[in-house]
Amino acid sequence: MLKLYYAPGSCARASHIALHEAGADFELALVDFASAEQRTPVYHAVNPKGRVPALATDQGILTETPAILTYIAQTHPEKQLAPLDDPFQFARMQAVNAYLCATVHVAHAHSRRGERWADTPEAITEMKRKAPQVMAQCFTMIEDNLLRRPWVLGDLYSTADPYLFTITQWLPFHDLDSTDYPKVHEHMRRMLERPAVHTAIALETQSG
């Protein structure tokens, strides 16, 4: 059985939703950020990076959201969570997921985890000040160039959709509103209609 290590509301929500979409047999393992459980030797034995998500499989541990989402799609091909038979579209999905991981998530983290990149209070304060501007630029890029309708890849729902949805929910941390990005806002509304999203959020709310 798969085991997903997660924290409520974190980027692990994308993998959590995808597992429900896939109908996967899995269990949840809460990593309590409030008590810094992610920094303990016990959790480092699972993921030395001290981050979530981590997905325990029969073959070992997977980390990094794009990798986990790809694994879920490839191990449940009948659910059509990725364009596995179309190399170009599959690569396009991966490009969106990579952008969300390497650019948008990092921009968000500059506001909440500035100590990863700087030591002085002044530098951390400057990163917090700048982060909303960078997040706004990222979502303008998504709105104008990366998001088709009704889903990220157009008519095909894919693992890029729960990932975008998860990060869209972080906009209020930066005093940004999804309604400023009409296609993104419509995408979030549509995601909230999916049973897998309801289930994942409800389980995370109970645990958090």
What are 8-47's pLDDT values in tens digits? 999 999 999 999 999 999 999 999 988 988 889 999 999 9
**Residues 31 and 99 placed together within one structural domain of the fold:** no
**Residues 119 and 144 placed together within one structural domain of the fold:** yes
* Terminal CA-CA length for the chain: 23
**Residues 190 and 201 placed together within one structural domain of the fold:** no
What pLDDT shows up at residue 90? 98
For residue 41, give the CATH number of its domain: 3.40.30.10
**Residues 162 and 93 placed together within one structural domain of the fold:** yes
**Residues 154 and 203 placed together within one structural domain of the fold:** no
Q: How many structural domains is the chain composed of? A: 2
Q: What is the tens place of the pLDDT at every residue in 124-142? A: 899 889 999 999 999 999 9
Classify burial at 177, counting beta carbons within 10 Å of its beta carbon; exposed 0-12, middle 13-18, buried 19 or more. Answer: exposed
**Residues 200 and 183 placed together within one structural domain of the fold:** no
**Domain containing 60: what range?**
2-80+196-207
**Residues 92 and 76 placed together within one structural domain of the fold:** no
Q: What is the tens place of the pLDDT at every residue in 137-179? A: 999 999 999 999 999 999 999 999 999 999 999 999 999 999 9
What pLDDT shows up at residue 208? 59
**Residues 185 and 201 placed together within one structural domain of the fold:** no
**Residues 48 and 119 placed together within one structural domain of the fold:** no
**Residues 42 and 136 placed together within one structural domain of the fold:** no
Taking residues 117-127, report their average pLDDT. 86
**Residues 201 and 187 placed together within one structural domain of the fold:** no
**Residues 121 and 68 placed together within one structural domain of the fold:** no
Q: Is the pLDDT of residue 188 over 70?
A: yes
For residue 174, give the CATH number of its domain: 1.20.1050.10
**pLDDT exceeding 70 applies to what percent of the chain?**
100
Q: Look up residue 159 and give its amino acid.
A: T
**pLDDT exceeding 90 applies to what percent of the chain?**
87
DSSP for the chain?
A: -EEEEE-TTSTHHHHHHHHHHHT--EEEEE--GGGTGGGSHHHHTT-TT--S-EEEETTEEEESHHHHHHHHHHH-GGG--S-TT-HHHHHHHHHHHHHIIIIIHHHHHHHH-GGGT--SHHHHHHHHHHHHHHHHHHHHHIIIII--SSBTTBSS--THHHHHHHHHTTGGGGT--GGGSHHHHHHHHHHTTSHHHHHHHHHHHHH-
pTM for the model stands at 0.95
